[in-house]
Amino acid sequence: MTAERTLAIVGASLAGAKAAEGARTAGYEDRIVLIGDESVLPYERPPLSKAVLRGEADPTTARVHPDEFYAAHDIELVTDTVTGLDADRRVLRLARRQSLPFDTAVLATGAAPRPLAVPGGALGSVHYLRTEDDSLRLHDAIRRAGRVAVVGAGWIGSEVAASARQMGADVVLIEPAPTPLHRVLGATLGRVFAQLHADHGVILRLGTGVRELRGTSAVQEVVLDDGRVEPADVVVAGVGVMPRAGLAADAGLAVDNGVVVDLHLETTASGIYAAGDIANAWHPHYGRHLRVEHWANALHQGFTAGGNAAGRHDPFDRLPYFFSDQYDLGMEYVGYNDATDALVLRGDLEGRRFVAFWHHDGVVTAAMHVNVWGVTEDLKAIVASRTAVDVGRLADPDVALPELVGT
């Protein structure tokens, strides 16, 4: 009789929960243990800065699976912290119980918010948004707030600023770059989002960071790098995240901007895979490693990693994808652009209804729509084709998007 194998999944995140699903879908009939350090069932994070934060949706609506899924698929849920990984002996060390031997594993430990490392950063009323509890606490704080200061105008900061305004709070958005979302979208499109927030009453403090937070037990003032002082009784820090790769590094796995994995999401230790925010994965389309911190990546990478840990050998070659909703603006982005890529636009920038293409010598590396619904599959096909397109045709709204594929 063959001994039962164990698949251990570290991180009861979206990627971790999908890894368990992926393994069962691949026909894995042995033991699956899904370990997380939160007491709630695995959930998705996008609603935490939107509907859940605003109080429009119950947190249970963000669950990855129905409550009965895990028992129905014989997936053991363990609330504990993994303190060590022995890749050679195939053992996980846990904080509150016996060590767990395993045969294969998936690491899905996600990312942690970067701290706001300024004087006063440890004062009360400074919030980070990563967990369900964070979102619920921030909701209550915004409801009581006189003025909310959001530090960092990336995706999380921009979405929180929008939600806080929709909740009726006065908001100041502080960002060292010239525009919101500058690193990802560049100046031209960043200005679209700057105007969007300004039109909804957000005070923008761009091109300056935070020097200090002042207050007694809680924040009362935010001192900017340029000397201006902004009153605020709630501060939300959205200054980026760091992959939680320490477990892998301590185990001797290759770590470089996350856990290095191959086309099949396997780490440098055979039989140990990584997925989601921590995975710096080889992407065949771009011929390089990419670490992507977005919902769709965790969703699909987790499923593939779980299937491969169960015995499959599937490549992960999906194009990166993400979306955002802020006020009445919805956008979807596919691909991956470098700062050196050229930008081409078609549509109405001022009216916030357009399509953007990034390209290198006519080869489209990424594309995005804003409020132009139903075109995402066309944009994926254009990026996936890796064929040079006449730039004039990219910009011409009379050229249908499907006609740009493979031209």
Instruction: Assign residue 366 the CATH number of its domain.
Output: 3.30.390.30
SS3 140: helix
Does residue 84 form part of some domain?
yes
Contacts of 117 (CB under 8 A, 6+ apart): none
Does residue 248 form part of some domain?
yes
In a shared domain, residues 99 and 211: no
* pLDDT for the residue numbered 271: 98
In a shared domain, residues 106 and 126: no
- Residue 350 per-residue DSSP state: T
pLDDT tens by residue, 69-85: 999 999 999 999 999 99
In a shared domain, residues 19 and 71: yes
* pLDDT for the residue numbered 307: 98
In a shared domain, residues 88 and 18: yes
Token pair belonging to 5: 């194998």
Given the structure tokens 């004087």, which residue do they identify?
119
In a shared domain, residues 67 and 153: no
Burial of 139 (0-12, 13-18, 19+ CB in 10 A): middle
> Per-residue confidence at 407, pLDDT binned at 50, 70, 90?
low
Q: What's 168's domain CATH number?
A: 3.50.50.60
Residue 164 CA from chain centroid, whole number: 20
Does residue 253 form part of some domain?
yes
d(CA 149, CA 231): 8
* pLDDT for the residue numbered 12: 98
Domain end marker among 184, 212, 239: 239
- How many structural domains are present in the chain? 3
Does residue 316 form part of some domain?
no
Contacts of 374 (CB under 8 A, 6+ apart): none
CB 7 within 8 A of CB 30: yes
In a shared domain, residues 345 and 283: no
Asked if residue 1 has pLDDT above 50, the reply is no
d(CA 241, CA 292): 12
Asked if residue 406 has pLDDT above 90, the reply is no
CB 296 within 8 A of CB 100: no
In a shared domain, residues 190 and 253: no
Token pair belonging to 344: 């081409």
In a shared domain, residues 152 and 195: yes
pLDDT tens by residue, 135-173: 999 999 999 999 999 999 999 999 999 999 999 999 999
* pLDDT for the residue numbered 3: 72
Asked if residue 302 has pLDDT above 80, the reply is yes
d(CA 108, CA 3): 26
Task: Tally Cβ neighbours within 10 Å of residue 80.
Answer: 14
The sheet carrying 82-86 orders its strands as 82-86, 91-94, 100-101
Domain end marker among 181, 214, 239: 239
CB 374 within 8 A of CB 399: no
In a shared domain, residues 123 and 182: yes
Domain with 70, as residue range(s), is: 6-112+242-309
Mean pLDDT of 194-216: 98
The sheet carrying 31-36 orders its strands as 75-79, 31-36, 6-10, 104-107, 272-274
Does residue 321 form part of some domain?
no
d(CA 338, CA 184): 9
Contacts of 262 (CB under 8 A, 6+ apart): 281, 282
pTM confidence score: 0.96
% of the chain exceeding 90 in pLDDT = 98
SS3 383: helix
Indicate the range of 3-7, 26-30, 400-404 predicted with least confidence.
3-7
In a shared domain, residues 67 and 152: no
384 phi, psi to nearest 5 deg: -65, -25
Residue 15 CA from chain centroid, whole number: 11
Residue 98 CA from chain centroid, whole number: 32
d(CA 138, CA 134): 6
Query: Among residues 2, 317, 62, 369, which one has the least CA distance to residue 189?
Result: 369
Does residue 254 form part of some domain?
yes
In a shared domain, residues 105 and 129: no
Mean pLDDT of 180-186: 96
Does residue 334 form part of some domain?
yes
Task: Tally Cβ neighbours within 10 Å of residue 18.
Answer: 29
Domain end marker among 280, 309, 338: 309
Token pair belonging to 380: 């994926």
> Per-residue confidence at 358, pLDDT binned at 50, 70, 90?
very high
In a shared domain, residues 107 and 141: no
Asked if residue 233 has pLDDT above 60, the reply is yes
Does residue 138 form part of some domain?
yes
**What's the chain's average pLDDT?**
97
